[in-house]
Structure 1
Amino acid sequence: MSGLPTAVPHRLAGRRVEVPGLLDVGGQGRDTAEAVRFLRECAGLGLRVSWRAAGQPSYDARALRHLPPPDELPGDHEELAAWRSGYAHGALYHRRGPGFVTVMDRREPGTAARLTLDHPDLLAAFDLLLDPTPLDALDPTGREAAGLLAAERLALVTGGWAVALPPRIRRWPVPCTAI
């Protein structure tokens, strides 16, 4: 068992995952949230992913550049080239502690930010958004927390759905000091 979400059909061979269909990263709801979760979990497990995008994101695609880039991104060769050149394993990840989550964000070249989520409402929202969640299923405090996480680019909120972006890295490359 790979531990990958089953919402996205895939084939796993060793450390490589192949997605035979197209992944919807366009931002139109649950399908996008499931695709992002799938790619996030693949990144957390250190898997190489072969996938094709169904369309252009309706949001700033830079939010996903910590995830494995697609083999094909219809219509925007510059965005695909930027995603490929900017991708690095561990550019965004989270670690858990007792009552807090620490996020390391190195997605922007030449910068690094360490954020600690320790407020109970933010932590609860982050934990909930590890699974794709419809915004209307959240209470007002949860929606506000999801908005704050999205403002920090720690969650993708689009098409009425939200999903957390930082993977929990379960497999580090050797040497791990390369990250």
Structure 2
Amino acid sequence: MTSPSLRPIHRPDPLELLDIRRLTSMLSPFDHGRRLHLEAPVHLHDDDTYAVHFLHLLQCAAGFGIRVDWTAASAPACDPHTISHLPPPTNPAPSSAPADVRRWQEKHHYGACHYRKGPGFYLLRDARNGAVSRLRITGDDRCRALEAHLRPFPPTGLPPDTAPMTSALHRRGLLLTIGTWHLAAPHRLRNWPVPYTTL
């Protein structure tokens, strides 16, 4: 019988992709201290749409401090450094791409790339390269433009007035690209680690 601290899910096929989106939307602070356990190995190179939504799931889980137990069946579809702030696979590196998976596991640091939201502004912090860079976004229009990037979107999925934000995130290395899909790299940090000086 499954432990109540685990929430098992299976990798959906493309027709069942909404299942993983629904699971993402279900994550909340009430899940703090819980774990997501994915029973089937995850393929991050076979389906760009699935891969980018899976990374979004990892973002949401990381933001709430939820542990994700999952195994990788293939190398990530992007540079492991760009996603080193997200929960890495817990299995030994697969023989198909040991270097990329090990690099993700070795470089992982919780909260290395996150954002905080205040009244009328966002604060983005990126320490994936070791040095810390910060970006403050203010103004209703710019905040709305950033918010449009906090979920996976295809190239034609955003209104034209968000293009400057897309370019700004890309220049700063804050935009993940999976095939033709994009997603802002930082995740919202809702649960601070103890001690908080680890960030």
Distance 1:28 1:114 in 2: 32
1:28 Cα deviation from its structure 2 partner: 4.7
Structure (1 or 2) with the greater strand fraction: 1
1:126 paired to 2:139: no
Post-superposition offset of 1:169: 1.2
From the superposition, tell whether residues 20 and 143 of structure 1 become closer, same or farther in structure 2 (CA, over 3 Å): farther
Which residue of structure 1 aligns with residue 173 of structure 2? 153
Residue in structure 1 matched with residue 86 of structure 2 by the alignment = 67
Higher relative contact order (CA 8 A, sep 6+): 1
SS at match of 2:187: coil
- For the residue of structure 2 that corresponds to 1:162, the secondary structure is strand
How does 1:48-67 map onto structure 2 within 5 Å? 48-67=67-86
CA distance in 2 between counterparts of 1:45 and 1:114 reads: 21
1:43–1:143 CA distance, 2 compared to 1 (3 A):
same
Structure 2: which 5+ residue stretches go unaligned? 1-6, 8-17, 25-30
Asked which structure has the greater CA Rg, the reply is 2
Deviations 1:121-153 (A, max 9, x none): 543232012222222122333244324313322
Give deviations 1:78-113, integer Å, cap 9, x for gaps: 22222222111111110112222111111113x111
Aligned residues: 174
Question: Quick one: distance in 1 between partners of 2:73 and 2:142?
Answer: 32
Give the TM-score normalised by the residue count of structure 1.
Answer: 0.81
The separation in 1 between residues aligned to 2:165 and 2:172, in whole angstroms, is 11
Q: How far apart, CA to CA, are the structure 2 residues paired with 1:65 and 1:123?
A: 25
1:20 aligns with 2:39: yes
Per-residue deviation, residues 43-93 of structure 1 (Å, max 9, x unmatched): 111122111234323432211000011134542222222222211111111
**Equivalence for 1:136:** 156
In structure 2, relative to structure 1, the CA distance for the partners of 1:30 and 1:93 (3 Å cut) is same
**The residue matched to 1:138 in structure 2 has which SS?**
coil
Distance 1:21 1:125 in 2: 36
8 Å CA contact 1:94–1:166 kept in 2: the answer is: yes
1:104 aligns with 2:117: no
Asked if 2 retains the 8 angstrom alpha-carbon contact of 1:26 and 1:54, the reply is: no
For residues 46 and 170 of structure 2, the distance between their equivalents in structure 1, rounded to whole angstroms, comes to 14
The CA deviation at 1:36 is 1.0
Q: CA RMSD in A?
A: 2.8
* Distance 1:177-1:6 versus aligned 2 partners, 3 A rule: farther
Aligned AA for 1:90? G
Matched, 1:7 2:20: yes
1:42: how far off? Answer: 0.9
Matched, 1:177 2:193: no
Match of 1:80 in 2: 101
Question: In structure 2, do the counterparts of structure 1 residues 65 and 131 end up closer, same or farther at CA, with 3 Å as the change threshold?
Answer: same
Aligned mates of 1:94, 1:161 — CA distance in 2:
21
Gaps of 5+ in 1: none
What is the percentage of aligned positions where both structures have the same residue?
30
